Copies of this chain bind each other. A is one copy, B any other.
Amino acid sequence: MKKLAYVDNPEEWVNQFSFYIPIKVRFSETDMFGHMNNTAPFVYFEEARIEFMKSYGMLKDVSSKAESVPVVADLQCDFHQQVYFDDHLKLYVKVESMGRTSYDVHYMAMNQNENVCLTGRGRIVHINPQTGKPVEIAQEIKDQLVTV
């Protein structure tokens, strides 16, 4: 795995993941270069992040009447190995660090040959959907989410 600005100790970083969802690369997610298009991982990241949050009882209300909704402040992906149609990925997620109104989510995708093919991270901010302002995250959610 190449050197990543968001990873201090690669071995430790990899081992701290435990939650994952299975992803099968769809035909419509490939492009004419014959591999997965570079926009697909961000779809996978979102799905994995949401399932992770749901597993902690979050995101019960995702309507515009919700008190707070999670929005993406930034997002990045490193492509370590080519990914192809029908590859079966394990898309791992963890919360790496927690602030007052936001937290850092880290991602890692492992293919069927146990190779890390994608890694990434991104900041999630909780905002009030009416005002657009950041909302403090409840302590009980914080305590749960940070697994590292």
A residues at B contact (CB < 8 Å): 5, 26-28, 30-35, 37-39, 42-43, 46-47, 50, 62-64, 69, 71-79, 82, 85, 129, 132
Q: Is the CB of B72 within 8 A of A75?
A: no
Measured between beta carbons, the chain B residues less than 8 angstroms from A47 are 26-28
Q: Is the CB of A39 within 8 A of B38?
A: no
A37 to B29, CA, bound (A): 9
Q: Which residue of B lies closest to A63 (CB)?
A: B34
Q: Which residue of B lies closest to A35 (CB)?
A: B32
Q: Is the CB of A46 within 8 A of B26?
A: yes
A73 to B3, CA, bound (A): 12
Known: A27-B46, A46-B39. A72 touches B79 (CB 8 A): yes
